[in-house]
Every structure is written in structure tokens, then in C-alpha cells.
Structure 1
Amino acid sequence: MNEIFVKSLSELIVKENLESYKDLYETTVVDSKTDPYYKEALNLYNSISEEKRVVLMNIIEQTMVDTISSMLGIIDGSIPLDDDDDSIEPKLLLNSVDTEGELQDQFLEFIEGKESGI
């Protein structure tokens, strides 16, 4: 069950959002109603070569993977929320079954397997 969950996180958050970002950067037309943040981001994207756009998308993808990994580490208990307070102990149940603190490791194994073509 954990494997299905981490694969779903990768598909829903990383893959789909990365596709959304690519689409946003490739198709958004800047006008007077465009948010200033997006205007700057689009100007940056449009000012770089195709090769550097690939690098930028890789950076965005790695940032999403790192963020998910950190969140799962917090849920698993391997990354403490606060060193001074042991009273916060998050736990995730999938279909009422304890994930046994393995989500971060399983997520990273899935990502590494995907990257190596396994």
C-alpha cells in the first residue's frame, strides 16, 4: 500500500505539476492582468535557451522531489519538527494501516528506480 501511495505522490505532484509548469511557461500570454510574479518568471524563462529551460525544469522537478521527501520524513518521524518538543509525533495511516515510518525511504527508492530505468 505504501508503494502505491508514494508512486501516486510522484505522479500527481511531480509529473503532473511539472507538465503544468512547462505548459504555463510555454503558452501563457502576458497582459495587464498577469500577476507580476508570473511576468518575471515568464520573462526569465523566455530569455534563456532551450537547453537552459531543460535545466530549469530539472531544478523545479528536484525541488518538488526534495520537498515531498522532507514532508514524508516529518510524517515518518525521521525529521523532527522541533528539537525541543518531543510531544509532536505525526503518523500516517493508509486505509487504517500504519505506514511504519517507511514512506520517505520508499519514495526515494521509487524516484531512484525511476531515474535509473528500473
Structure 2
Amino acid sequence: MNQELEEFVQAVYRTVVKEGMADYKDIYEEEVDPSVNAYTACIAFYQQSSEADQKRMRQMIEQTIIDTVSHVFGIIDGSSGLSGSELEAKLALVLVDEAGDPVETMETDGELQESFLGYIEEHDLHAL
């Protein structure tokens, strides 16, 4: 895998999955009124669950995040279709220098989803 693409995939994993899970952990520990809406009802359900069930729920959330990132990457890199649209997305990664000026542009056609899932598999990061 290209070094820059690998760094991008790792940064997305850290930002979206790991930092996202830390945010969820904080949110799910806050005191809530379960009657406000479905979201607070879910938090209350989580809080009332056993520690083992809470762990399983966190694993499900993390796996859902991983699957969602993978799916979006597939749409962006063209390896997955976009339902009901004639449009295709393209993504180019731009390597910038310290001043923020572009140094190199790299197309990600067909590699983004595969690289992300490869990183997950290689480092055994599947939540379930």
C-alpha cells in the first residue's frame, strides 16, 4: 500500500473510529432523561445494561462505524455503487508541505476501501 494512502487510512481510523468511540463513551456516561427522544432513551437503555452488555453495545457501535467508513470509501473510490445516482465521486489525496502548499496529488481510484479494510484486518481492529 502506498505510504501516503496508508497514513490517510490510519488517520481516518483514529479520527472517525477511535475518537468517535471516545465521544460516544462520554455521551453514554452523561445523565439523561429517557423521555426526551429516542437517542436519550438509547443512552438510558445502555446505562441500565450490565457491564458485559455495555461492552457488546460498544463493539456493535464501533463495528457499525467501521462498516460505514468502508462503505463511504467504496462509494468514493468507485468500488461500490451509489443507489439512485448517475454521479460518481472521485477523491484525490493532496500531500502538502509545512506551508500548506500542494506537493503531490494522488488518485485513490479503487484503493481507498480496500486499503481501509486491509488496515483493519492487518491490525485486527474488528470490533466484533
**TM-score band, normalised by shorter chain:** 0.7 to 0.9
| Aligned-pair CA distance for 1:89 | 2.5
Q: Which residue number corresponds to residue 63 of structure 1?
A: 64
RMSD: 2.1
Q: 1:106 aligns with which of 115, 118, 124?
A: 115
TM-score by length of structure 2 reads 0.78
TM-score by length of structure 1 reads 0.84
State the distance in 2 between where 1:19 and 1:82 align: 32
| Aligned-pair CA distance for 1:84 | 7.5
Matched to 1:29, the amino acid is E
After TM superposition, the runs of 4+ consecutive aligned structure 1 residues lying more than 3 A away are 82-85
| Aligned-pair CA distance for 1:39 | 2.4
CA 81–38 in structure 1, closer or farther in 2 if over 3 Å, else same = closer
| Aligned-pair CA distance for 1:31 | 5.2
Q: Percent identity at matched positions? A: 39
State the distance in 2 between where 1:80 and 1:25 align: 34
User: Secondary structure at the residue paired with 2:40?
Assistant: helix
Unaligned runs of 5+ in 1: none
- Counterparts of 1:1-118 in structure 2 under 5 Å? 1-26=4-29, 28-30=30-32, 35-82=36-83, 85=86, 88-95=87-94, 96-115=105-124
Aligned length: 112
Name the one with the larger helix percent. Answer: 1
User: Secondary structure at the residue paired with 1:107?
Assistant: helix
| Aligned-pair CA distance for 1:80 | 1.2
Q: Which residue number corresponds to residue 99 of structure 2?
A: none
Matched to 1:59, the amino acid is M
State the distance in 1 between where 2:85 and 2:55 align: 42
Matched to 1:30, the amino acid is V
